[in-house]
Structure 1
Amino acid sequence: MDSEQAEAFVAELKRWRDVRGFSQSALAARVGYTPSYVSKVEGGQLVPSASFAKQADEVLRTGGAILRAHRDLESAGRIDAVPHQAAEELHAASLLVEHEDTTLHFDGSVYRATQRRKLRNDSPDPVTRYLIRISVDRYPGNPERSNAHYRQNPLTWDEIGLSANLDGEPLQWRVKHDRDAFKELWLLFENDDGQYPLYPGESAWLEYEYTVGEDKWGSWFQRAVRLPTRRLGVRLDFPADLKPTVWGTETTMTAEAMPFRTAIRRSEGEGRRIYTWSTDDPPLHARYRLEWKFRARTGDEEAPHVMQSASDRMQAVGIVQEGDPILTKASRPFRFPDEAEDARRVVAELVSHAERAATVHVFGKGMGIAAPQVGIDRAAAIVRSTEGELVTLFNPRIVEESPESDEQYEGCLSFFDVRGKVPRPLAISVEHQDVDGTERITIFERGMARLVAHEVDHLHGVLYRSRMREGVTPIPVAEYRGTGSGWNYEGR
């Protein structure tokens, strides 16, 4: 088997595992293989099977990227192993990031990312290199479209224009992976004038910078904490006349996904709008994702707010639309506590998609979103009340309903062009689980009962159309007069 094709497969697998937030163990559990198998595939000791590639492609929702890499690998012929890469990964394992500042500057057509990290060597040996990755995704939530886009318009080294230095000394680098949508390379602590190893106990500022056009970037930026870090900060610098709006979500190994715990600060001056955010002592493996929208982009054909319909807008932010089989089958329950990490990653996806949806529609009644609606076949949903309270539901089922009910209009993100009158109980008792396996029963009333019942239905493959009274049909959203306002419970 050609070593280049083998490396390409491993790179694709690791890239998508990282994008979707899966550890090796979590991916193994989802595809029905052992963690050792995944580790050996990525480390170079084992040739991946076609079955593994197919399962990984489906679970990681790569739009066929992993399958294509596997087909290329098979067409090159088979040998007993792929090149070993694990030793390189361990090289920087003992580094500490004392301070990190990232700035993303947008001039209206090109993004320039500048990353500065103060590294300290806590090992007994000198460190001579540092691994970095440049990864882009123009259409988050639509991997098929992104993959096709980058096959036709690959990210190139010329446009990136990478530069790097260590305490001001320019650095050379060695490419590890060169793919259409991401690059991975070792920054070497050396140049033509000398070598600059980071010795035990020493600290130095590492800085690198690159550019990517907006046709390849996508409106998101993510930082994953792979090394112990004392302080992490991000600065987004946008033209003020684009009227940007920014939000962020975080997920960790020990907590569910949620909006940033600390506020994103905003300032303006000299025609720029600046957003800054920072955190101290972020936990290892935490992921912080910032996303944005330019409200003034009325002429951009890709902008969600100029799509032809409400459903188009939801599809543009990554919501699965009616007709997809995943919406009409029961979701696979979690096995807790073994799948706690998977559950947290799924909720991170839900929170991110909910934030995107909120940029294209005002949810005056609160809102909810279930895992099948973002293409994930797992029994998880979130519901956000009108007051902003976030409720997370794992493996939920309704165990009791009040005899009193009412009938009000509902909308569904998966067919948002219509609204339908749906009878629902005024109170429900829902049995659900925490990630440690604890079972709970929570009572929801009125608007929250309606929102929760709608999402529980999603997890059982039921859409609200089937809950409507016989002879009653949804109305076009253009005829609906309740957008942006709450449900009516006067006199109750």
Structure 2
Amino acid sequence: MEPQGQATLEQAHQHFAAEVARWREVRGMSKKVLAERMGFHPSYVSHMESGRTKPSEDFARRADETLNAGKAIWHRWCEYETARLRSTKPGAVPAARKAEQPYATGSSVLVEHDAARLDYDGSRYRLTMRRLLRNTGTEPITRYLIRISVDRYPGEPERSNHHYRAHPLTWEELNLTAVCRGEAMRWQAKHDRDAFKEVWLLFDNDQGRFPLYPGESVWIEYAYTVSEEKWGHWFQRAVRLPTGHLEVELAFPTELDPAVWGTVTSMTSEASPLNSAPTRREENGTTVFTWSTGHPILHARYRLEWRFRAARTRRDSTGVHVNEVRPSEQMRNLGVVQEGAPILAEPARPFSLPAEREVTEQAVESLFTSMERIAGVHTFAKGMGIAAPQIGIGRAAAVVQPAEPGAGAIVLLNPRVIAASRETDDQYEGCLSFFDVRGLVPRPLRITVETMTLDGTTVITDYERGLARLIQHEIDHLDGHLYTARMRPGVQPISVTEYRQTGRAWSYEH
């Protein structure tokens, strides 16, 4: 890997562009969509990634925030800026930019068949990719670009970035091999990051050259290994070139009782279930899941995820089925602090705004990340909310997502209820910090709440009915209270199995 801070200006520019492209693809955004969300002209992102436009501080900040990159893009811009300042010293001569053979674009190469297989042996993943490439252009193809990207903690970019800084993906452990027509292929690293590699597979070796000529088709195969500490329970295939057939196989030890599901995300749509379920077969103690599709959507991302049901803690003595996971366990596994933790009983510390703007933004970003992760495993028909103490941050921030489709999330910073109606009602509430039960809680039907914006401005807003209840629930968390403190004397929470309103909104008389 290149020494930090020693990259040339050209290299730092390339590193920044690659980081933006990587996170854009991870988030499944087209260049146009990213530009729109950042407030830039659609062509700007394209020019940035191609190296035709110099990165700016504003672009770097917005890209990092929009792509939820956990400061990875921002750090690349800082490296670029350091290199730029170093290159402007007297006597410095800008390095000439070398012409580079373009990556095999859709106009010159077609993937007739893409077959990917992942094998897990209990501690390591071995990935084998086989592709039938056809040169549909007019010039010989002498190299092919591949990408290796890992993410141990999807949806938690800062945690992942920290993890890979401490435990970077190395070439030694990858043990990358590639063959074509029975010949070993040389390879050259294009980008070498802690959690991301781009590699040119070369159609040559020490014995000679074997380019892919116009009109020809050829199978290539490459494979690499990643430890389970660096991989994670997911495998994604990104369709970057026109592809005739895509096939994915996942092989796990049968004793782990694996379960597999999948989603597809295109540049214009959110994640949705695959159009067909993976098939399953048993082979000598190995369970193999296979999924395939013809003519996959260009630029789509097909993602398979899994869990090992036999790896759970057995609880036969409590009468719970061994394959059942309590809701509270599920929330704990998703990073939600559970009842009994001291942080849930302490008032959260207010932010000093605007002085603590960056700290506040980081806390809010963590809340949104947690909400997205939780919403992926549970439907919240009544709306949902989460407070900073519930994810281990003892600061006065919370986020509420109203139940209405398309409604924007509400960010609460240093909130307090300054007025409440005398009229109340009783409704059942659930809490992510003890999700096994539901409690009947009386609350005012209308409230007035004072909050702050990032620039320190005070904002006063009125809320009513269900939204007022959600807001009050989160403000209670910031005051160090759970909803059980609001329940009427003698009333106890009921088990979620007894609760009959899951998946339904609260009802109110008009």
**TM-score, length of structure 1 as denominator length:** 0.70
Cα distance in 2 for partners of 1:217, 1:256 equals 24
Match of 2:152 in 1: 138
Q: Which residue of 1 aligns with 2:304?
A: 290
Contact 2:61-2:74 within 8 A present in 1 as well: yes
Residues 1:153 and 2:167 aligned together: yes
Per the alignment, residue 11 of structure 1 pairs with 18
- Alpha-carbon separation, structure 1, partners of 2:61 and 2:384: 27
CA shift at 1:50, angstroms? 1.1
In 2: Cα distance, 1:267 partner to 1:472 partner? 52
Task: Give the equivalent residue in structure 1 for 2:449.
Answer: none
Give the superposition deviation at 1:107.
Answer: 0.3
- For the residue of structure 1 that corresponds to 2:332, the secondary structure is helix
Specify the code of the residue in structure 1 equivalent to 2:105.
A
The residue matched to 1:215 in structure 2 has which SS? helix
- Give runs of aligned pairs for residues 173-322 of structure 1, distance below 5 A: 173-253=187-267, 255-298=269-312, 311-315=331-335
Task: Provide the rounded CA distance (Å) in 2 between the counterparts of 1:10 and 1:161.
Answer: 27
1:422 is displaced (CA, Å) by 6.5
Identity %: 47
Structure 1 307/133 Cα, relative in aligned 2: closer, same or farther at 3 Å?
Answer: farther
**Partner secondary structure for residue 266 of structure 1:** strand
CA contact (8 A) 1:107 1:239 kept: yes
User: Structure 1 residues 411-420 or 198-207, which shifts more?
Assistant: 411-420
**Native 8 Å contact 1:371 1:381 kept in 2:** no
Q: Measure how far apart 1:308 and its partner are.
A: 8.4
Cross-structure match for 1:111: 125
Q: Which amino acid aligns with 2:227?
A: G
Q: Does 1:92 find its partner at 2:100?
A: no
Indicate which of 409, 422, 445 corresponds to 2:428.
409
Backbone CA RMSD of aligned residues: 4.5
CA distance in 2, matches of 1:418, 1:75: 54
Amino acid at match of 2:48: V
Q: Distance in 2 between matches of 1:157 and 1:168?
A: 23
Matched, 1:51 2:58: yes
Taking the aligned partners of 1:56 and 1:396, their CA distance within structure 2 comes to 21
Secondary structure, counterpart of 1:315 in structure 2: coil
Taking structure 1 as reference, are residues 479 and 472 closer, same or farther at Cα in structure 2, changes over 3 Å only? closer
Q: Distance in 1 between matches of 2:488 and 2:110?
A: 57
- 1:296 aligned counterpart, secondary structure: helix
Match of 1:394 among 387, 392, 406: 406
Kindly tell me the number of residue pairs found equivalent between the two proteins.
405
Are 2:177 and 1:163 aligned? yes
1:359-398 CA-to-partner distances (Å, cap 9, x unmatched) read xxxx7x979779999x9xxx99899xxxxxxxx933589x
The answer as to whether partners of 1:314 and 1:413 remain within 8 angstroms in 2 is no
For residues 202 and 313 of structure 1, do their structure 2 counterparts lie closer, same or farther at Cα, with a shift above 3 Å needed?
A: same
2:406 match: secondary structure: strand
Unpaired stretches in structure 2, ≥5 consecutive residues: 1-7, 89-93, 314-323, 338-342, 351-369, 392-398, 410-423, 444-464, 477-481
Q: Distance in 1 between matches of 2:147 and 2:483?
A: 54
Give, as a single letter, the amino acid of the residue that structure 2 aligns with 1:92: T
- Alignment of 1:29 with 2:36, yes or no, is yes
Query: What's the CA shift for 1:287?
Result: 1.2
Q: Is the 8 A contact 1:43 1:86 kept in 2?
A: no
Alpha-carbon separation, structure 2, partners of 1:106 and 1:367: 40
The one-letter amino acid of 1:409's match is Y
In the alignment, structure 1 residue 40 sits paired with structure 2 residue 53: no
**CA displacement, residues 124-166 of structure 1 (integer Å, 9 cap, x when unaligned):** 2222211100000011111111101111111000000001111
Tell me how far apart the structure 2 counterparts of residues 324 and 59 of structure 1 sit (CA, whole Å): 27
Q: Which residue of 2 aligns with 1:74?
A: 81
Partners in 1 of 2:493 and 2:333 — Cα distance? Answer: 18
Q: Is the 8 A contact 1:380 1:394 kept in 2?
A: no
Unaligned regions of 5+ residues in structure 1, if any?
326-348, 384-391, 398-404, 425-452
Q: Is the 8 A contact 2:151 2:195 kept in 1?
A: yes
Shift in alpha-carbon separation, 1:312–1:186, aligned structure 2, 3 A: same
Measured in 1, the distance between the counterparts of 2:384 and 2:471 equals: 14
- Please state how far the C-alpha of 1:116 moved relative to its aligned partner: 0.6
TM-score (ref. length: structure 2)? 0.67
One-letter amino acid matched to 2:30:
S
CA distance in 2, matches of 1:305, 1:228: 41
